[in-house]
Amino acid sequence: MINETNYFEINNGGLSQSRIKDYLICPNYFYRKNISGELKKEFKKAFQIGDAVDGLLTRSTEIDNYAVCEEKRTTKAGKAEAAELEFAGKTVISRTDYDTIVEIADAVAKTDAYKQVLQTYTFQEILEVPMELGEHFNCLYGKPDAYKINEDGVCDLLDLKSTITVDERKYFYKFFSFGYNKQLWFYSYLLKSKYPQIKSFRYWHLAVEKTEPYNVKLFSIPVGNVLACEQEMMETINAISQDTTFAKYNPSFSNPTILGSFNNEDSLSRGDWSDGTNNDEF
């Protein structure tokens, strides 16, 4: 069973949307990162800030979980202070990062959209769907930021995102290149499996800029942009369950990639626009 303790552990038996996106990048990369453990998750400061903001807004963590090391951590006194804080269970961050986290979270918390979400949505529920997925996995699992099942059977599924800009055109391309459509489809699949009373979904992104003036925008995601990736996701889940070698891609002249095939309005609406990155934020 997936729980808070083993949620991020490799070999926990679970196949998450981020692991599926790893497989789409490269099956061998997926294997070394999520099965053998040869590759360790790369630490990025932007992710730490995003995770912290996400935790505050979904009420899964408190600001007291974080502590500022007032002494320079390169000094003997700073190292001792940091070690003491970490021993007490705190995540030690810089004063600049601490202030940024508070300011981003505060910008979102002041919006009417977030206030409504806070009152009526369920946050960060671990969802698990048992499934035969080959040798290494036995379930699909995930933890959507927030959702609400209405009396009419419509489920509002919302994700919180930090971003460089909330400009609509730029965010549109980011939505597909980072695989956010796949993320929403995956969470809706988990929710529908657990709650069969769900008849349909409305999809939302509450996005906030990571720098001043911390603009916040609520994006309504067209259902078609999410459902368009369903076949690809199901085929990928099936491929993972049957893969025994997890070999690297082997290009050949019989099956080349057509450069620019994504570069038209139809392919964008299908969710085919991707730059191969897997940089979930928040």
Answer whether residue 51 is part of any domain.
Answer: no
Model confidence over 108-145: pLDDT tens digits? 999 999 999 999 999 999 999 999 999 999 999 999 99
pLDDT in tens, 238-273: 999 999 999 998 999 998 988 876 654 445 544 444
Q: Which domain holds residue 204?
A: 23-35+108-270
Domain assignment present for residue 147? The answer is yes
**pLDDT for residue 81:** 81
Q: Which two tokens stand for residue 124?
A: 């960060």
Residues with Cβ < 8 Å from 181, sequence gap 6 or more? 175, 221, 225, 226, 228, 229, 271
Residue 100 lies in a domain: no
Is there a domain that residue 212 lies in? Answer: yes
pTM, two decimals, is 0.86
Contact between residue 10 and residue 232 where contact means Cβ atoms under 8 Å apart: no
Per the domain annotation, does 206 fall within a domain? yes
Distance CA 185, CA 227 (A): 7
Is 62 a member of any domain? no
Q: Is 169 helix (H, G, I), strand (E, B) or coil?
A: helix
247 domain-assigned: yes
- Domain with residue 239: its CATH number is 3.90.320.10
Compute the radius of gyration of the chain from its Cα atoms.
20
- Distance (Å, whole) CA 143 – CA 28: 25
Closest CA to 184 of 204, 167, 198, 169: 204
- pLDDT tens for 70-108 read 767 778 887 888 888 888 888 888 888 999 999 999 999
The residue with tokens 């939505």 is 175
Residue the block writes with tokens 């400061």 = 45
Instruction: Give the model confidence (pLDDT) of 157-187 as tens digits.
Output: 999 999 999 999 999 999 999 999 999 999 9
Does residue 256 have a cis bond before it (omega within 30 degrees)? no
Total count of domains within the chain = 1
Q: Give the model's pLDDT for residue 265.
A: 44
In a domain, 266, yes or no: yes
pLDDT at 75: 84
